[in-house]
Structure 1
Amino acid sequence: MPSGSTAQVRLTFKKSFVLLLFSALMLLFNRKAEAQVIYQGGSNVQLLYGRNLKQSGELATVTVEHFGSYRALEQFVFADLYNNVSLASPNMYMEWYPKLSLSRATGREFKLGPISDVLLSGGMNVLFGGSEDFFAYTAGPAFKFRIPGSGLLQLETYYYKQHGEEYDGTYQFTPSWDIPLPVSEKVRLRFRGFMDFIGDRGPGSTQYLTQPQLLLDLGNTWGKLGKVFFGSEWRYWNNVVGIEGLEESILQANLLIGL
C-alpha cells in the first residue's frame, strides 16, 4: 500500500485530472452556442455484461464515451464503471486524449502515402478504486489513415509513464478503428475497437489489451440510423497490468446508445 504522502500526491493528481477534464468539456460544449463556431462531436453510453472465459466470474460495465473536434483540436474521453453484475461499489477508470491536427493548425497538408493527417497527442489514464492507486500519462504523435467510406483508422504512438513509479517510462502503440459495414439497406454492421501495446517497464512485462466490437445498427430498422446498436465485445488482456502469464479473456454482450 502507498505511504500517506504518496497516497496524498496521487489523490491530488486524480482531482486535478477530473477538474481539467471537466473544464475542457465545459469549454467545448459552451462554444457550441457561439456564432461562427462549430463543435462537432458525439457521445454514447454502453451497457456490457460478460463472463471471463479463462476463470470463473462475471463483469458488468457501464461505459460513457465522448469524441469531438473544434477547429484544429480533437478529443476522445471515456469512463468505465465496472464490477460484478450488481455494480455495487464499482471501480471507475477514465482516459482522456486531447489532440492537435497539424494539417488544420497550419493550413498545410501533413500526409504521406496512406497517411491523411498527423496529430500531436497526449493522454491521461486514472483509476478510482481497486487495490492500488493508478495514474499514467502519455505523449506522442498520432497518424490518421485514408480508408474507403466514412470509417476511421488511426495509429497513436506514445511515451508511457506511470506516476509514482521509480522506473523509466516505456512505449505504447495503439491502433484503433471504427468502420461501418453495410450488408444491405436494412442490415448495417459496425466494427470498432482498439489494441494497446505497452512495453516493458521495470518489473512489468510487455502487455497488450484489445477490445474489438461487432455491432448491429438496431436503430436503422425503425428509421433511426446510428442511434442504437447491439452486438458483442471481446476483451482480451495479455500479461494483465504487466504481470507475466496473467491473462484475461471476457466475451461480453454490448448495448450502445447514441446520445
Structure 2
Amino acid sequence: MRALLLATVLASPAAFAGMQWQDNSLTYLYGQHFTVNPSTEQTLTFEHASGWDFGDVFFFTDGTRFNGVKGDNKTLYGEFSPRFSAGKLTGKDLSFGVVSDVLLATTYEFGEGNVNTLLVGPGFDLKLPGFDYFQLNFYKRLPRGRHDGDTFQVTPTWRMHFPVGQSQIVFDGFIDWVVDSDQSYHHNVHFNPQLKYDLGQVLGLKKDKLFVGIEYDYWKHRFGIKDTDDFKTTQSVTNLLVKYHF
C-alpha cells in the first residue's frame, strides 16, 4: 500500500515546488533460472526519476509473480532514493576534475517481511565521455529489525545511448557491491544492465518512449546469502524487457 501511494504521488503532474523535471516508466520483465526464489519470474516495475532544487529523487517498486507456484506466488520490493546536492543547496559550483557535483545520497529499501534497510553516504555526479550521466554513491547500510549487521555498499549507475539508423540503442543500469557484515550478511555483487532498442521512434512515437530489449541480472550471493554446493544463490539471468515512459 505504501509503495502504491508513493508511486501515485510521484507520477502526478509536477505541481510540487522545486520540481525541475520528471520521468516515469513501466517495465515488464520475464526471465528464468533465478536462484533462492522460484526459478521463473515475471516482474512489473514502476520507476520514477526527478530533479529538484535540492537534488534528485529516484524511486522504483517491483511487483513480482513466481510462475508455477501455488498459493503465495507474489512479492513486492521497492527503493526510495533522494539525494541532496551540495551544489544546488549552497548555490556554488563545487565541480572538480570529472566530478560535477557532490551529494548526500540516501536510500530506503522496503518490501515484504523484514525487508527494511536505510542507506546513507556521499554521492558524486561524474562527467565521463560517452555517458549521458554517471553517478557514484557510497553507502553505510543500516538494516532495521534484522540481525544482518551494518555493512557498506558502493553503487555506480549510468546511461549511454548510440544512434542506430533513425532510432537509438540505450545501455543503462547499476552495480551494487556490498561487503561482508560482522554477522550473517555475506558480501555480494549485483550487476543489472539493460540493453534497449527505441522501438517507439520507428513507430512514430517521440524519442525515449517505448523500448524493447533485454535486462541481464547477475547476482553473486543473492540477498547476501552465501553460495554453496548444497544451496546455489549466485544467479545469471537474461530477462526479456518491454519498457514504456510517460
> What corresponds to 2:213 in structure 1?
231
Q: How far does the alpha carbon of each residue in 1:191-240 deviate from its partner, in whole angstroms, 9 at most, with x for none? A: 01101011111122111111111000001113321110000001111011
Tell me how far apart the structure 2 counterparts of residues 50 and 73 of structure 1 sit (CA, whole Å): 34
- 1:257 has 2:244 as partner: yes
The answer as to 2:4 corresponding to 1:26 is no
**2:150 aligns to what?**
169
Cα-Cα RMSD = 2.7
Counterpart in 2 of 1:3?
Answer: none
User: Secondary structure of the equivalent of 2:49?
Assistant: strand
The equivalent of 1:11 in structure 2 is: none
Q: Does 1:190 align with 2:173?
A: no
* TM-score, length of structure 1 as denominator length: 0.82
**Equivalent residue letter for 1:249:** S
What is the TM-score of this pair, normalised by structure 2?
0.86
Residue in structure 2 matched with residue 139 of structure 1 by the alignment: 120
Note if contact 2:57-2:83 (Cα within 8 Å) is conserved in structure 1: yes
Q: SS of the residue aligned with 2:15?
A: helix
Letter in 2 for 1:180: H
Is 1:211 the counterpart of 2:192? The answer is yes
Quote the offset at 1:172 in angstroms: 0.5
SS of equivalent residue, structure 1 residue 133: coil
Report % sequence identity.
26
Give the conservation status (yes or no) of the 8 Å contact 1:28–1:70: no
Q: Which residue of 1 aligns with 2:180?
A: 200
Contact in 2 for aligned 1:226/1:258 (Cα 8 Å): yes
Match of 1:120 among 84, 104, 108: 104
Would you say how many aligned residue pairs link Structure 1 and Structure 2? Answer: 236
For 1:39, the equivalent position in structure 2 comes to 20
1:83 matched to 2:65: yes
More divergent stretch after superposition (77-86 vs 216-225): 77-86
1:247 maps to a residue whose letter is T
Alignment CA distance shift 1:94-1:189 (3 Å): same
The equivalent of 1:65 in structure 2 is 47
Structure 2 unaligned blocks of 5 or more: 228-232
Q: Does the 8 A contact of 2:67 with 2:73 survive in 1?
A: no
Of 225, 231, 234, which aligns to 1:247?
Answer: 234
- Closer, same or farther in 2 for the Cα pair 1:27/1:244, shift >3 Å? closer
Q: Which residue of 1 aligns with 2:202?
A: 221
Residue-by-residue CA offset, 1:137-182 (whole Å, 9 max, x unaligned): 1001111111346711111100001112346411100011111111
Structure 1: 4+ residue segments shifted above 6 A: 53-56
How far off its partner does 1:127 sit?
A: 1.3
> How far is the alpha carbon of 1:27 from its aligned partner?
8.1
> Structure 1 residues 74, 254: closer, same or farther in 2, change over 3 A?
same
